[in-house]
Structure 1
Amino acid sequence: MLNHVLPPDTQVILLLCASFGQNRQIEPQPLTLNEYNSVAEWLIENQMRPADLLEANAKYLLQKASFNKIETDRLLALLERGVMLSLAVEKWTSKGLWILGRSDSNYPKLLKQRLRHSAPAILYGVGNVELLSRGGLAIVGSRDIDEEILNYTQKVAKASAMGGIQIVSGGARGVDQAAMLSVLNAGGTSVGILADSLTKAAVNSKYRSSIKDGKLTLVSSYDPDAGFNAGNAMGRNKYIYSLADYALVVSSSFGKGGTWAGAVEALSKIKEVPVFVRMFPNAAEGNQQLFNQGAKSFPSEPWNDSLKELLEKHSCLMESVESPKIQTSIKVNVSTDNQDLKVIPKIDIYTAVLPVILSHLNQPKDTKSLAQSLEVRQSQMQDWLNRAVEEGKVRKITKPVAYVVNQSANQLSLL
């Protein structure tokens, strides 16, 4: 259980971003995530932390600052909501909830590493906070499911518990909830990322004993008392994938619904997490289309106690190995027997050389001199630098053209 006394940084993030149970249209309107990121960037540029906005000279500094579409009066009004903050925190903590700001040491590192600026500024939660750092298998799917899909989901969850794999899911009716309850019943652990009604879920009889025993953690980036909102449900999908090591889409509609949108987003933006789909014995149309877009076929039964090993093997299978300027096609023989898999390790030269490149860019340096320092072709170095710029790791400057480590982006994740 976390200490109920919030760090000053977290208090300020709440003042700026939380709605405290009110309609978000009521003035002053809390900051959106993008707006908070703008403030965080300004804080870093001025070598400040969120807590510094509570100091006596903060009003003077903010009045001198320039934020894109954020009025200074609005920021000052948000920071003056101390009484509302105290009442809200007292209400939440009385129900066993805790709050994490993005600057907290307990904030899950996976979210910051994989989502960067898209990681939520605030996380509300209940249960064992350590579970947020354990990864696991994300299991998602449709809300309306038949008996076959239900049984399949329960079998995967049970196999996960036997293999020591945590289940991460969204807690929604259908596949998500079935996966969470099944792994808990089998003695495993689970993390549920909710889109609404965290305070109600925290005292729900289905979850109460597992939360108390440290087996279940429920979190939400939205107000704990907020009701269902389709936009929020869509928005939290990336958090489910980002907190896991692997993901399984049990059933999905094609081209519509939260399951489809979340899987497509994960396939395109969260490359660190292999996305699997159920293909056998029956594949829904959405599953087939996700497979066509790059998802992997989930290992077929029997899993026994080796599900984690099977997931690792299947995650390494690939049809091609890509590096800048080079693309090599590789044929992979895959039989229906899981024991006959020919595993090809995933290779990414860029990932290996990036730390070396960054170590040479504490001061601005042009492509040619950097290539000479590392003894590689200039065109190859330019490819790597372009990618580093796209990822926000490196900043390109002009007059003359040079590259330097993006310290602002690296520090922003702390706030």
Structure 2
Amino acid sequence: MNDTLSLNTRAILLLTAPLVVGRSSTGRGGSAAELLSLGEYKRLARRLRELSRQPADLLAAEGDALCADCADIVEPERMRRLLGRGFLLGQAVERWQARAIWVVSRADGAYPARLKARLKEDCPPVLYGCGDRSLLDREGLAVVGSRNADDALLAYAAGVGGLAAAAGVALVSGGARGIDGAATDGALAGGGTAVSVLAEGLEPRALRRENRNAIAHGRLLLLSPYDPNAAFNVGNAMQRNKLVYALSDAALVVCSDAGKGGTWAGAQEQLDRLRLAPVYVRATGSRREGLEALRAKGAHPWPEPVDPAGLAALLRHPVAAPARVQSLSLLDVADSKPAPDGRGSGDGVPEAVPAGDGHAASPMPPADELYALVRRMVRQILRTPKKEDEIAAELGVAAVQARAWLERLMAEGMVEKGGRPVKYRLAHTELA
């Protein structure tokens, strides 16, 4: 079901979404060319934070004055035209609700914490989904590869999907035919779960009979940052790739061309710039130039885990801990302070705080110094009980890393967990 939209989400949809209803991509009130681009919305969100305002304030009585305050970013008349598409938004929402499509904006608490922690301002302003959104909080293995793969590689991908199912790990893919589809089918056939991040609107996929059963039983989630009726285009596919990696604890490239294609572009972006998750390449069977080229860039050979325990161990202890660009470091979290009015950022995306460079050298080994800092941060964070993904988001690390620290803190008696949903809290001895 689609939840009632928050005012912030309504404002963001009006500014950035085409609100496709039927064959129309624009409707009354503006054209697709008028919609705010991701870059424009990022600049607008920063301005709203500077003014201690939120997107919803643009719909309030003082909205005209606020539009004027942002005139150097978006022309006020253009903003008013977009915000005036309320009737069209209502029609779109009715259509989404009838198809069990939900919508969340990055101003909402339900927005995937992992995406906020990893992508910061680059996370999509709006996400559309169909299925159980709690699948986004699970450990995830991304499996990607070419659309035109031979039968042997398709069978290999399906086998990896089946192993992920047995390990209780969500299979994350781009939902394309070929390797993506085979891996997803393997996970679902094995009784597991899958998240398909689509480069086009998800409405046609959500209506397919073969998907409806898996969606209804909470085993398949379709996710897209694009309007539910948007058509596929290559640019969207390239942007979608980073979401696949950002939602995963590790990624396996089954096959790829060298220097071209979406699979190559997505893996190259991770290895060269984003480094959101460890990237592995298939190390058995027929080899291709693309996989060798990715290894030369830093990808690791897939160790071929043979049982669920092996796969779970690989995800919890990857061969490399990649540096995550644009993520808050622990020192950033320690030094960050709330806005004077306590409201925080305008759309719920924390701002990166540059770390200082004048810290004195510590006599402790780096790992021990880091863990000591984690202890102090967790003691602050757990002044109120929190879920694992919330803790990971506040620390700016992957869920698997947060879980490892929390398990160590529980063994030491500092932290305990319980309740439904499961939350971590400080032990009674720590509260005394």
Partner of residue 52, structure 2: 47
Partner of residue 360, structure 2: 375
Residue 352 of structure 1: how far off its partner (Å): 5.5
Partner of residue 254, structure 1: 258
Residue 309 of structure 1: how far off its partner (Å): 1.3
Is 1:28–1:77's contact at 8 Å kept on the other side of the alignment?
Answer: no
Residue 297 of structure 1: how far off its partner (Å): 0.5
The SS at the match of 1:306 is: helix
Residue identity matched to 1:157: G
Q: Is 2:62 the counterpart of 1:63? A: no
Is 2:245–2:276's contact at 8 Å kept on the other side of the alignment?
Answer: no
Residue identity matched to 2:128: Y
Bigger radius of gyration, 1 or 2?
Answer: 1
Partner of residue 135, structure 1: 139
The SS at the match of 1:51 is: helix
> Aligned partners of 1:289, 1:8: CA distance in 2, in Å?
47
Residue 356 of structure 1: how far off its partner (Å): 4.6
Residue 78 of structure 1: how far off its partner (Å): 0.5
Count of aligned positions: 337
Residue identity matched to 1:176: D
Is 2:278–2:319's contact at 8 Å kept on the other side of the alignment?
Answer: no
Is 2:130–2:206's contact at 8 Å kept on the other side of the alignment?
Answer: yes
1:261-276 aligned within 5 A? 261-276=265-280
Please, what TM-score do these two structures have when normalized by structure 2?
0.73
Residue identity matched to 1:375: A
Please, what TM-score do these two structures have when normalized by structure 1?
0.76
Is 2:283–2:303's contact at 8 Å kept on the other side of the alignment?
Answer: no
Residue identity matched to 1:8: L
Is 1:159–1:305's contact at 8 Å kept on the other side of the alignment?
Answer: no
Q: In the TM superposition, what whole-angstrom CA distance separates every residue of 1:232-275 from its partner, at most 9, and x where no partner exists?
A: 11110000000011100000000000000000111123324101
Partner of residue 184, structure 1: 188
Partner of residue 19, structure 2: 20
Q: Which of the residues 20, 23, 35 maps onto 1:30?
A: 35
Residue identity matched to 1:187: G
Residue 109 of structure 1: how far off its partner (Å): 1.0
Residue 215 of structure 1: how far off its partner (Å): 0.7
The Cα RMSD (Å) is 2.5
Is 1:28–1:78's contact at 8 Å kept on the other side of the alignment?
Answer: no
Structure 1 unaligned regions, length at least 5: 323-349, 378-409, 411-415
1:11-410 aligned within 5 A? 11-21=10-20, 22-23=24-25, 26=31, 29-68=34-73, 70-300=74-304, 302-303=306-307, 305-313=309-317, 315-316=318-319, 351=329, 353-356=331-334, 358=336, 371=358, 374-376=359-361
> Aligned partners of 1:243, 1:304: CA distance in 2, in Å?
20
Change (3 A) 1:248 1:61: same
Residue 187 of structure 1: how far off its partner (Å): 0.7
> Aligned partners of 1:284, 1:301: CA distance in 2, in Å?
21
| Identity across the alignment (%) | 39
Report which stretch shifted further, 96-105 or 272-281: 272-281
Residue identity matched to 1:170: G
Change (3 A) 1:308 1:27: closer
Is 1:189–1:215's contact at 8 Å kept on the other side of the alignment?
Answer: yes
